[in-house]
Chains A and B, each alone.
Chain A
Amino acid sequence: MQFDQILQYTLSGLSTGAIYALIGIGFSIIYNATGIINFAQGEFVMLGGLLTLSCLDLLKLPIWAAIPCAVAVSTLAGLLFERLAIRPLRQPTPINLVIITIGGSILIRGMAMLIWGKDTHAIPSFSGDDPIAIGGATILPQHLWILAITVVIIVINKFYFYHTISGKAMRACAYNRRAAGLVGIDVRRMVLFSFMISSAMGAVAGIIVAPLTMIAYDVGVMLGLKGFCAAIIGGMSSGIATVVGGLLLGVLESLGAGLISSGYKDAIAFIILLLILFIRPQGLFGKADSERV
């Protein structure tokens, strides 16, 4: 009985953790390319979910068409955000940029509230709601979708950064921007790409989680912070460390909520965040100055 419960909490923790991992990787990609923490990351998660809703309800698209459409529009929003809010700064300091991203997130959230209202919306599951039994626990098909899509995205991400020239160029910017410019890499374009990739990943996270948790204009705040937490645990790596960070966070949160009290669900995430920042600011797996991409 007790074991079944723990299995249940772990399984659902893993799928929320996968979402945190996706959002966290979005944080890391931008951080590595530009050195800034993009606090608007969570808003792209929200945009992904709400845009899918509009594609389904207003445009009457089927789900398989609505998702790419929503991801594309969110990516466009990420592109505009970089061009209009980040790039115009002549001599940006990290603190200016961080404050701009916070301002951007408030703006995006406000616009979303005007467009979609304050209500919480539901998106149908991708493939039904019949629970699947695993051992003594059950999971929903949507949980499997989340895990599968997360794995696919992480694999594509890894392939892009390590096995394509464009990806290597982006890593090069993270290691040494000056040298990257010298070998002909347009660093500003790479920064733009990093915003586009991150907003697309955020949107995907928002879309796949929406059928489970519902979606509203203000979900980005909490999801963004949890993703940030995952990225911190992973030492701002855009690779496997942040994925593990996200999964760890998801599972601990779910076990804590289940075994202690669900009131502490969010508190647990932030206690972990604080502990990591106090004890291992380089991340759980990082050496003092670790590889960050």
Chain B
Amino acid sequence: MLEVSGITQIFGGVTALEDVSFRVNRGDITGVIGPNGAGKTTLFNIITGIYTQTSGKVVFEDKDISGLPPEKLARLAMVRTFQNIELFGGMTVHENVMVGMHTKSSSGMLSCALKMPWSISEERRIRNDSMKWLEFTGITELAEVEAGNLPFGKGRLLEIARALAVEPRIILMDEPAAGLNSQETLGLAHLIKRIRDLGITVVLVEHDMELVMDICDRIVVLNLGRKLAEGTPREIQENPEVIAAYLGDDD
């Protein structure tokens, strides 16, 4: 589904990532973990086209997507969410999700501006379809609230709803549980599993070990810019190198 091979990223004199390779299977929830500064977010930024890597390749569904900008990736059905949620603050919750369906809209600016009948019916269709994603994430009752006024936890749900509206085949989440309380985290775990059940592949960077071990099918561990280990949650928990990286070595 998604294959990262030989990714190296050098910022000035600092090597943030060195020869990182791994593969994400279709329909899995894959977790990327590692101590602070391990290069997790850098890796995400490379996969999703925000940075361009120094060397290496990202292949998504047999297509080399290295260096494609985010909007092209969205059209190829890859989306991401941010650790610090990025919403359209002055627009309503419902409108935020509708904009997510933008790529599915066929009406150009001209026909919209001229109020062509088909662009109006399309607007209506998108208005209805987008409600489905608000229901899926459980924020239907907030539809008319301005996104900038949402509490943080709801904002995160909205960001996920908007990402899903793009109808992705893969969704990358950067620390989805950051800033959530334990109740919200529990709900999030359930939501991520339901996203997988829709057939969408999920990749997440996360610090909340309980969440990662609970929901992930596979885990990739990064440390100091290198891949340390890869495997099922059980294998990772028992891997001595991983334990050393997290808890410190005896010597």
Q: Please give the residue numbers on chain A whose beta carbons come within 8 Å of chain B beta carbons, in ascending order.
A: 156, 159-160, 163-169, 171-172, 175-176, 178-187, 193, 197, 291-293
Closest Cβ neighbor of A187 among chain B residues: B71
**Bound CA–CA A179/B109 (angstroms):** 20
| Chain A positions within 8 Å of B69 at CB level | 181
**Bound CA–CA A197/B110 (angstroms):** 10
Are A184 and B123 touching (Cβ within 8 A)? Answer: no
| Chain B positions within 8 Å of A186 at CB level | 71
- A163, A175, A184: the one contacting B102 at CB < 8 Å is A184
Are A165 and B71 touching (Cβ within 8 A)? Answer: no
Are B74 and A163 touching (Cβ within 8 A)? Answer: no
**Bound CA–CA A85/B212 (angstroms):** 49
- B91, B102, B162, B163: the one contacting A165 at CB < 8 Å is B102
In the complex, whether B101 has a CB less than 8 A from a CB of chain A is: yes
| Chain B positions within 8 Å of A172 at CB level | 88, 91, 96, 99, 102
**CB interface residues, B 54-97, toward A, < 8 Å:** 69-71, 74-75, 79-80, 82, 86-91, 95-96
Q: Please give the residue numbers on chain B whose beta carbons come within 8 Å of chain A beta carbons, in ascending order.
A: 48, 69-71, 74-75, 79-80, 82, 86-91, 95-96, 98-103, 105, 107-109, 112-113, 115, 119-120, 122-123, 126, 162-163, 165-166
Whole-angstrom distance between the Cβ of A148 and the nearest chain B Cβ: 18
Closest Cβ neighbor of A170 among chain B residues: B109
19 A–B pairs (Cβ distance < 8 Å), ordered by A: A164-B107, A165-B101, A165-B102, A165-B105, A166-B102, A169-B102, A171-B91, A172-B96, A172-B99, A178-B70, A179-B88, A181-B69, A181-B71, A182-B48, A182-B71, A183-B103, A183-B163, A184-B75, A185-B103
**Bound CA–CA A163/B105 (angstroms):** 13
- A156, A167, A176, A291: the one contacting B86 at CB < 8 Å is A176
- A164, A182, A187, A197: the one contacting B123 at CB < 8 Å is A164
| Chain A positions within 8 Å of B163 at CB level | 182-183
Going nearest first, the 7 A-B pairs with the smallest beta carbon separation are A184-B74, A164-B112, A184-B103, A179-B86, A175-B88, A291-B90, A181-B70
Are A156 and B88 touching (Cβ within 8 A)? Answer: no
Closest Cβ neighbor of A192 among chain B residues: B109
**Bound CA–CA A164/B107 (angstroms):** 9
| Chain B positions within 8 Å of A178 at CB level | 70, 86
**Bound CA–CA A179/B80 (angstroms):** 9
Are B88 and A171 touching (Cβ within 8 A)? Answer: yes
Are B123 and A165 touching (Cβ within 8 A)? Answer: yes
Are B79 and A183 touching (Cβ within 8 A)? Answer: yes
**Bound CA–CA A186/B100 (angstroms):** 12
Given the known inter-chain contacts A178-B86, A179-B88, please indicate yes or no for A165 contacting B75, CB distance below 8 A.
no
| Chain B positions within 8 Å of A160 at CB level | 112-113
Are B90 and A183 touching (Cβ within 8 A)? Answer: no
Whole-angstrom distance between the Cβ of B72 and the nearest chain A Cβ: 8
**Bound CA–CA A160/B119 (angstroms):** 11
Closest Cβ neighbor of B74 among chain A residues: A184
**Bound CA–CA A183/B75 (angstroms):** 8
Are A182 and B91 touching (Cβ within 8 A)? Answer: no
- B79, B98, B122: the one contacting A168 at CB < 8 Å is B98
Are B71 and A168 touching (Cβ within 8 A)? Answer: no
| Chain A positions within 8 Å of B74 at CB level | 181-184
| Chain A positions within 8 Å of B100 at CB level | 183-184
Closest Cβ neighbor of B70 among chain A residues: A181
Which of A165, A180, A186 is packed against the most chain B CB atoms within 10 Å?
A: A165
Given the known inter-chain contacts A160-B113, A164-B123, A165-B122, please indicate yes or no for A182 contacting B108, CB distance below 8 A.
no
Whole-angstrom distance between the Cβ of A28 and the nearest chain B Cβ: 14
Closest Cβ neighbor of B167 among chain A residues: A184
- B71, B90, B101, B162: the one contacting A293 at CB < 8 Å is B90
Closest Cβ neighbor of B165 among chain A residues: A183
- A166, A171, A179: the one contacting B105 at CB < 8 Å is A166
| Chain B positions within 8 Å of A292 at CB level | 90
| Chain B positions within 8 Å of A184 at CB level | 71, 74-75, 79, 100, 102-103, 166
Whole-angstrom distance between the Cβ of A218 and the nearest chain B Cβ: 31
| Chain B positions within 8 Å of A182 at CB level | 48, 70-71, 74, 79-80, 86, 163
| Chain B positions within 8 Å of A180 at CB level | 71, 88, 99
| Chain B positions within 8 Å of A169 at CB level | 99, 102
**Bound CA–CA A291/B115 (angstroms):** 25
Are B109 and A166 touching (Cβ within 8 A)? Answer: yes
**Bound CA–CA A262/B89 (angstroms):** 45
| Chain A positions within 8 Å of B82 at CB level | 179
Given the known inter-chain contacts A165-B112, A166-B107, please indicate yes or no for A185 contacting B86, CB distance below 8 A.
no
**Bound CA–CA A22/B99 (angstroms):** 27
